[in-house]
Amino acid sequence: MTKVFKAARSAIRFGGFLHPILQAAVIAAAGVSAFLLRFEFEIPEFYLPHLRVAIVVWLLAKSVTFQVYQLDRRAWRFFSVDDVVQLIRANLAGALVSTLLLFLLAPPGFPRSIPILDLILCSLFMGVRFLSRRLVFEAMKRDEHEPGKEVLIYGAGRAGVALLAELRLNPALGYRVLGFIDDNPRLLNVYVQGAKVLGKGSDLCSIVARTGVSEVLIALPSAAPEQMMRILQQCQQARVRFRTVAAISEAVEGKALSSQIREVDVQDLLSREPVDLDHGLVRESLTGKVVMVTGAAGSIGSELCRQIARFQPAALVAFDIAETPLFHLEREMRSSFPGLVFHGEIGSIQNHRRVRVVLESYTPSIIYHAAAYKHVPIMESSVLEAIGNNLLGTRNVAMAAAECGVEEFVLISSDKAVRPTSVMGATKRLCELLIRAIPPCRTRYVAVRFGNVLGSNGSVIPLFKQQIANGGPVTVTHPEMRRYFMTIPEAAQLVLQASAMGRGGEIFVLDMGQQIKIVDIARKLILLSGRVPDVDIRIEFSGTRPGEKLYEELNLDDEATIPTSHRKIKIFTGRDLSAANMVYRMRQLDELCACRDSSEAVPLIRSLVPEYSPSEMVLAMADNSVALPLVHAAAAGD
């Protein structure tokens, strides 16, 4: 069989040179067959001149017409419905032209049914020719590779059919599809592209036992989180590996759907609507401008860099104190965006002079300020470092922006700034008040407030994954602990969208959907690992940590909500502090940090943020404040 396929391969390759001859043979064969059918396979001698003229006309007219429709330029080894439509159009055009010529040039009495029969037969013969070429090609590809892993495709819709076609065309991927699983009862036992729908998801255990497959490819890009959870539980009960594919839209953008096969991620199990970015507005605000990102090597900062680079800024300045992450970011940006002018700059936002030098060197138009300490429990035991980095560092960058004529300053804030119970949240709230207190100037100051980001450096996801890998237990602070969650790309995109809408002084708040229980995230991650929650991996509750709240909020009681043109972004307005008062308080906090006096710093923050409720740890530290050496805080992360 291998020798036969090799011979067929040579014939197909050589057939490219013989295409005009093969095409002429098909045209002639269709014409002769039309005459034979018309006269019941015995052509009268009277009609032989008609046949000879017709063959010449068909060859000339159809060869030219098929050339116009470029049938010789199509990849027939991927023969599809589109190709069938083009083939029919070409044959209709060829039949029309040749029929007109025949009734002008052929001898009188030319049978009127012949052109119709010729049209049908020529279309059929050419379709068979090209379809057979695809079948031989696919057979050759299968013959070249070892039999692949036997899998089932969950979902017999558009994505499932597209995935099946790609896996058949690419045996090197190592998959052999035995059939479909689909919950639509009307598809049961139906053959889709030659693959049978074997049953519903509830039948998966018996189907796996019958077929012996070890993996299921989930081709349901638009599946709701609840549906995806049910499918994963069915796969787990059947003891098969499961993977999913990306949205079919990515294949439309030029990415092969088969190349998007990946492990199911916790993001697939969260109720998150896709972000619809106003690319025109964002492009207008970024294209051709110098943009600077502080905390650029962190998870949010680095994603901001990736998203900004797509809009072709004049230059991108990445500022961070973390040397190694900045080095890796620079390599990634130069590889992914070779045309981007990228500048990686080391420095701390607490060093006003260093910040000013960088701004004067590159004169950015926009600054995205993502540098901050964000780990709540660590900041509870490092009050002065949180104040020095988050608040006073933000003041340094904001003031330098005004001094250097930056057009826009965008503060990355947090939902922990709302009725804060942590030092981190309180400093973020003060940063919001700080930029609103700056007198009107050339620089527009806006803040963007959002919640937890899946996969970020401070997210619980990496911790849970490590605990699961170690066999558990997975530790959750409290069974009712809830948080808002969004993905890193979604957060970065909405930040860019909000900043493009800013006019100055706004606090933009991103719509993050519903809060999700942390324990539910833990259970989903355990399920994704192929284990059973509370059976294979235990979940333990360790108790809330200092500064933590059971749930987060997005706005204060005195903040009014103003809608924007984007459905996922709102503006909150509330109380402000005067510029003179803010300058005076910043000077006080500067002095308290310099002399390491947290006993006065905490009450001062509470006077500025009355809704702040310090943890017992912070209050105890403030009561027993001692002078310690000043630790120079880093501005890495986000």
CA distance linking residue 240 with residue 530, whole number of Å: 9
* Count of beta carbons in the 10 Å neighbourhood of residue 72: 12
Q: Is 62 a known active-site residue?
A: no
Q: What is the DSSP letter of 575?
A: -
Q: Buried b vs exposed e over 626-638: b needs ≥16 C-beta within 10 Å? A: eeeeeeebbbbbb
- First CA to last CA distance, the chain: 61
* Helix or strand (DSSP H, E) at 383: helix 383-386
Helices (H), 392-473: 393-403, 423-437, 460-469
CA distance 152 to 182: 10
| C-alpha–C-alpha distance, residues 91 and 235, integer Å | 49
Three-state helix/strand/coil letters over 323-366: HHHHHHHHHHHHHHCCCCCEEEEECCCCCHHHHHHHHHHHCCCE
CA distance 236 to 226: 15
Q: What is the dihedral of CA 296, 298, 301, 303, to 10 degrees?
A: 120
Distance in angstroms (rounded) separating the CA atoms of residues 347 and 351? 7
Q: Which residues pair with 180 in a beta bridge?
A: 153, 197
Contacts of 128 (CB under 8 A, 6+ apart): none
- Can you point out the beta strands (E) in 41-160? 149-154
Pick the catalytic residue from 289, 374, 416, 568: 416
Task: Please identify every residue annotated as catalytic.
Answer: 416
